[in-house]
Structure 1
Amino acid sequence: MTDNAYFDRAEDKKYTSVYKKETPDILAAFAAFDNAVFQPEGRAIPLKYRELIALAVGITTQCVYCIDAHSQNAVKAGADEAELAEAAWVATAIRAGGGYAHGRLGFKLSGAHEH
């Protein structure tokens, strides 16, 4: 069983009905916000690059739903496999860099390293 064995592209969307029933105002606000962020025109960063950024963030947070949606949306916006690959490597580098940088806190917070 993989970490993403729970992922079902078709069936999982049915659970949006809980948001619609319980918190329709928040769901509407989120949808409006998301639509504004990813509107095709009128932003300084072209849509293809916003989708590649979203893909990299999805890879970093390991959100299979984000990876699924934003990889497809990036291709629809004109991205090719080389750009998808570079977005994945950017995410990987940032995630690794975070580990490296936060690892230094181990030295700082342990008290073992005295100035």
Structure 2
Amino acid sequence: MSTFDHKSLIQNLNENLASFRKAQPEAMAGFGALAKAAMADGAISARHKELMALAIGITQRCSGCIGFHVKALHRLGCTRAEFEEMLAVCVYMGGGPALMYAAEALAAWEKLAPTPV
């Protein structure tokens, strides 16, 4: 099982980017607007778009992407079955390296799951 801590990674990335957001507010606002528009519900649901974004993050070997998009998938009500089917496509398209990041994504799925109330 992966010992990678995606919750801390997300927090650290946000903290580390804070000064960049201040130094480059227009660029960061533009990126935020692009993300909001691209990920909004449309002909393709926001959940399916997040699955695509996570698949790209896995195949591009981006741990930060895994953390942010797994967290979003939980928020959007993604099921474990949907998540695992997407991982299978990642492994098909990305081979062994994607399989290693799929394992990381599975660990993130468990660690970033909302705690029951």
TM-score relative to the length of structure 1: 0.68
Q: Which residue of 2 aligns with 1:62?
A: 61
**What is the aligned length?**
92
Corresponding position of 2:75: 76
CA 1:45–1:92 in structure 2 vs 1: closer, same or farther (change >3 Å)? same
Structure 2 gap ranges (5+) = 96-117
Are the structure 2 counterparts of residues 78 and 64 from structure 1 closer, same or farther at C-alpha, using a change threshold of 3 Å? same
Taking the TM superposition and a 5 Å limit, the aligned residue runs for 1:28-107 are 28-39=29-40, 41=41, 43-96=42-95
For normalisation by structure 2, the TM-score amounts to 0.67
Identity %: 27
Matched letter for residue 20 of structure 2: Y
* Greater percentage in helix: 2
Hey, what's the Cα distance between the residues in 1 that align with 2:72 and 2:46?
A: 9
Deviations 1:23-81 (A, max 9, x none): 22111100100011122x3x110111111111111111111111111122123222111
User: Max radius of gyration: which structure?
Assistant: 1
Secondary structure of 1:11's match? helix
CA distance in 2, matches of 1:79, 1:14: 27
Give a deviation string over 1:2-41, Cα, whole Å, max 9, x none. Answer: 9x68x633233112123223322111100100011122x3
Give the C-alpha shift of residue 94 in structure 1. Answer: 0.9
- Give the Cα–Cα distance (whole angstroms) in 2 for the partners of residues 47 and 86 of structure 1: 17
RMSD: 2.2
Write out the 4+ residue segments of structure 1 that deviate beyond 4 Å after TM superposition.
none
Secondary structure of the residue aligned to 2:9 is: coil
- Tell me the distance in 1 between the aligned counterparts of 2:34 and 2:24: 16
The amino acid across from 1:79 in the alignment is C
